[in-house]
Amino acid sequence: MSDHPCVVTIDHKSRPRVLFHGTRLIEVDLPVGTKVIYPKRPMKGLPDPRAAVRYALSHPLGSDPLFARLRPGMKLTIAVDDLSMPLPQMKGPDVRSMVVDEVLTLLDEYGVDDVEIIIATAFHRPMSESEIRHVVGEKAFRRYWPDRLYNHDAEKPGGLVSLGRTEEGIEVELNRRAAESDLVVYVNLTFVPMNGGHKSMGTGLVGYRTLRGHHTPAAVRSSGSYMEPARSELSRRMDQVGRLIESKVEVFHVETTVNNRMFDKPLDFLAKNEDELSDLEQKAMSVLLRTLDTLPESARQAIFEKVPAPYELIGVQAGACEPVHEAILEKVHQQLAVPVQGQFDVVIYPVPYISPYNVGATLNPLLVSVMVEGYLHNLHRGAPLLKPGGTLIALHPCSDRFDKDQHPAYVEFFHKLLPRTRDAMELHKLYEADYARHPSYIQLYRTGRAYHPAHPFYMWYWGENGRQHRGRVIVVGADNEYVPSILGYETARTMAEALRMVREQTPEPSIACFRICPLLMVDVTPDAAPPALVEEA
Amino acid sequence: MSATGANVAAPRAAAPSAAAPSAAAYFDVDGTLVGTNLLHPLVMYLANQGTPTRSLLSLGRAVLQAPILALAELQDRRRFNELLFAHFRGISEDRVVLLAQEIFEDVVQPRIFPGAPDLVDQCRAAGMRTVLVTGSLDVTVWPLARHLGCDDVIANRLEYAHRKATGKLRQPIVAGPEKAGLIVADARAHGHDLAACHAFSDSYSDVPMLSVVGHPAVIAPDRRLATLAQAYRWPVLDIQRPSREGRRRPEASTP
Mean pLDDT of chain A: 95
| CA nearest to A311, candidates A38, A98, A45, A517 | A45
Taking the alpha carbons at both ends of chain B, their separation in whole angstroms is 51
**164-193 of B, contacting A, C-beta below 8 A:** none
Cα–Cα distance between A356 and A510 in angstroms, integer?
Answer: 30
Q: Chain B residue with minimal CA distance to A443?
A: B119
Rg (CA), chain A: 23
Question: Where is average pLDDT lowest: A121-125, A235-239, A319-323, A530-534?
Answer: A530-534
Secondary structure (DSSP) of chain B = --TT-TT----------TTS-S-EEEE--BTTTBS--THHHHHHHHHTSSSHHHHHHHHHHHHHHHHHHHHHHHH-HHHHHHHHHHTTTT-BHHHHHHHHHHHIIIIIGGGB-TTHHHHHHHHHHTT-EEEEEEEEEHHHHHHHHHHHT-SEEEEE-EEEETTEEEEEEPSSP--HHHHHHHHHHHHHHHT--GGG-EEEES-GGGHHHHHTSSEEEEES--HHHHHHHHHHT--EE--SS--STT-SSPSSPP-
User: How confident is the model at residue A451, as a pLDDT?
Assistant: 98
Q: Chain B residue with minimal CA distance to A436?
A: B126
Chain B nearest CA to A283, separation (Å): 42
Give me the mean pLDDT over the B215-236 stretch: 95
Interchain CB distance below 8 Å, A126 and B248: yes
Was domain A49-258 assigned CATH 3.40.50.11440? Answer: yes
Q: Does B237 touch chain A (CB under 8 A)?
A: yes
Whether A39 contacts A6, CB under 8 Å = yes
Cα–Cα distance between A220 and A47 in angstroms, integer?
Answer: 39
Domain boundaries, chain B: 24-36+111-237
User: Does residue A365 have a cis bond before it (omega within 30 degrees)?
Assistant: no
Mean pLDDT of chain B: 82
Domains A7-42+336-525 and A49-258 share a fold: no
Sign, CA dihedral A229-A230-A232-A238, equals positive
Domain boundaries, chain A: 7-42+336-525, 49-258
Whether A106 contacts A70, CB under 8 Å = yes
The fold adopted by the segment(s) A7-42+336-525 is: 2-enoyl-CoA Hydratase; Chain A, domain 1 (3.90.226)
> Looking at the predicted structure, is the pLDDT value of residue A20 above 90?
yes
Interchain CB distance below 8 Å, A150 and B250: yes
Given pLDDT bands bounded at 50, 70 and 90, which one contains residue B18?
very low
Give chain A's length: 537
Interchain CB distance below 8 Å, A128 and B237: no
H helix intervals, A344-450: 365-369, 377-378, 408-412, 424-427, 433-436, 439-447
Chain B nearest CA to A443, separation (Å): 7
Q: Does B231 touch chain A (CB under 8 A)?
A: no
Beta strands at B164-169 and B158-161: parallel, antiparallel or unpaired: antiparallel
- Could you give phi then psi for residue A396, rounded to 5 degrees? -170, 150
Give me the mean pLDDT over the A522-536 stretch: 70
Write down the pTM of the prediction: 0.91
Per-residue pLDDT tens digits for A256-283: 999 999 998 888 899 999 999 999 999 9
Please give the class, per CATH, of domain B24-36+111-237: alpha beta
Per-residue pLDDT tens digits for A207-228: 999 999 999 999 999 999 999 9
Q: Chain A residue with minimal CA distance to B248?
A: A151
C-alpha to C-alpha distances, A253 to A98, A173, A189, A316, B46, nearest whole angstrom: 15, 19, 11, 10, 66
Q: Does B238 touch chain A (CB under 8 A)?
A: yes
Count other Cβ atoms within 10 Å, centred on residue A283: 11
Looking at the DSSP bridge assignments, the partners of residue B131 are B26, B152
Count other Cβ atoms within 10 Å, centred on residue B161: 8
Give me the mean pLDDT over the B112-129 stretch: 94
> Looking at the predicted structure, is the pLDDT value of residue A302 above 90?
no
